[in-house]
Amino acid sequence: MANSSFESFHPPQRILMGPGPSDVNPRILEALSRPTIGHLDPKFVQMMDELKDLLRYAFQTSNEVTIPISAPGSAGMESCFTNLVEPGDKVIICRNGVFGSRMQENVERCGGVAIMVDDPWGRAVDLNKTEDALKAHPDATILAFVHAETSTGAMSDAQALTKLAHEHNCITIVDTVTSLGGIPLNVDEWELDAVYSGTQKCLSCIPGMSPVTFNDRAMEKIKNRKTKCQSWFLDVSLMLGYWDGGGKRAYHHTAPINPLYGLHEALVILHQEGLEDAWARHRLHHNALKAGLEALGLELVVPEAERLPQLNAVSIPDGIEDAVVRKNLLDAYNLEIGAGLGESAGKLWRIGLMGQSANRGNVLYCVSALEAVLGELSSSIPRGKAMDAVSAVYNK
């Protein structure tokens, strides 16, 4: 029976400082509302070509195969594995958080053999361990790792890992979901082979699309497959008929037209700001947030040299309940921060400074809200110092 009480949904206005999604730039929200046209309309095709060029700028690549997958970052990950991994292929996976385990799932579902190289959560991938695994498995064909581990806030050395892979005749699959637009990522200079990302992190677009880029080395492996790609939808060779078909675009699927308007606008915004300025902005606001958190007596989990500025993992003080703090921040301040995942659940908070969310107002608001909420729960929280510590960074 129909429910006559249904009404339009109007979400609350939140400040998003979790691990994603981030705040969406108002220009992107406006772009999403523009008139829908056909996915084969010449004007839309023209926009698609611009979008690919903008993605190449964001990735710092000239790769011809640089497109957005019409699904979230998890589908970008799956597109890389399903296209590159065949039954029996040995894949070495560096795991230092949740997303290394997801890579393992992908390899095994493709019929491949996953060789796991484990490092502590909250630390970068160990180059020596990785080299040992490559030497121990000379028949491996792929090295997969996460550049920016969203579950812990740890950053690994993508350039050095890729150099090791190539020295041992492996190509790389690289997760850059949280790094694209937030920290240096130079796909061509570092010779990364197959790379996937997301739209809802440092690009400040809506969730639901996954930029990917494949270089010639990766495409050669795809073209020489002995078996069909196990996913029809994520088969890159089929998608290229739509994305790179020139004047004769082959119908593959109905593209998410309005979300692609939004992604185009997000990439225009990034281009207008400039990549290096965007990286510097994320670093500045991280430094200010760090100063405020430390003035509250809170500790960042990841060593400074391995720490992501856009995803801050913070140890939860003894005697403080994770869920209580996050609920109070959401209810009283409309402020979202993230919980820990996997073995970090209940042990840390993940505070995001990504894209549109990385700004002075958000940092000041987040630190003051944390001071108020934590102060109500524990008398050991220092009061009156955190805001001065944040301001000192900005006034340098």
Residues 74, 134 within the same domain: yes
Nearest CA to 19 among 373, 336, 395?
336
Nearest CA to 323 among 337, 333, 313?
337
- Please tell me the predicted confidence (pLDDT) of residue 193: 98
Look at residue 1 and tell me if it is in a domain. no
Residues 119, 154 within the same domain: yes
Look at residue 6 and tell me if it is in a domain. no
The structural domain count of the chain equals 2
Residues 42, 191 within the same domain: yes
Number of Cβ within 10 Å of residue 143's Cβ equals: 26
Residue 1: is its pLDDT beyond 60? no
pLDDT-based confidence at residue 4 (cuts at 50, 70, 90): confident
Domain end, chosen from 216, 251, 271, is at: 271
- Express each pLDDT in 161-207 by its tens digit: 999 999 999 999 999 999 999 999 999 999 999 999 999 999 999 99
Residue 295: is its pLDDT beyond 80? yes
Q: What percent of the chain has pLDDT over 90?
A: 93
Residues 208, 251 within the same domain: yes
Nearest CA to 199 among 190, 188, 207?
207
Return the bridge partners of 68, or none: 211
Residues 120, 93 within the same domain: yes
Q: Mean of the pLDDT values across residues 361-384?
A: 94
Residues 295, 224 within the same domain: no
Residues 147, 200 within the same domain: yes
- Express each pLDDT in 73-86 by its tens digit: 999 999 999 999 99
- Express each pLDDT in 111-123 by its tens digit: 999 999 999 999 9
Check: CB of residue 170 under 8 Å from CB of residue 143.
Answer: yes
Q: Mean of the pLDDT values across residues 234-253?
A: 86
Q: Please indicate whether residue 192 or residue 5 has the higher confidence score (pLDDT).
A: 192
Domain end, chosen from 271, 287, 313, is at: 271
Instruction: Note down the domain range covering 206.
Output: 26-271
pLDDT-based confidence at residue 247 (cuts at 50, 70, 90): low
Check: CB of residue 270 under 8 Å from CB of residue 345.
Answer: no
Q: List CB contacts of 204: < 8 A, sequence separation 6 or more.
A: 22, 23, 24, 25, 28, 266, 269, 354, 355, 356, 357
Average pLDDT, the chain: 96
- Please tell me the predicted confidence (pLDDT) of residue 149: 97
Say which range, 28-42, 325-339, 372-386, has the weakest mean pLDDT: 372-386
Return the bridge partners of 211, or none: 68
Domain end, chosen from 271, 306, 328, is at: 271
Number of Cβ within 10 Å of residue 273's Cβ equals: 14
Look at residue 21 and tell me if it is in a domain. no
- Express each pLDDT in 264-284 by its tens digit: 999 999 999 999 999 999 999
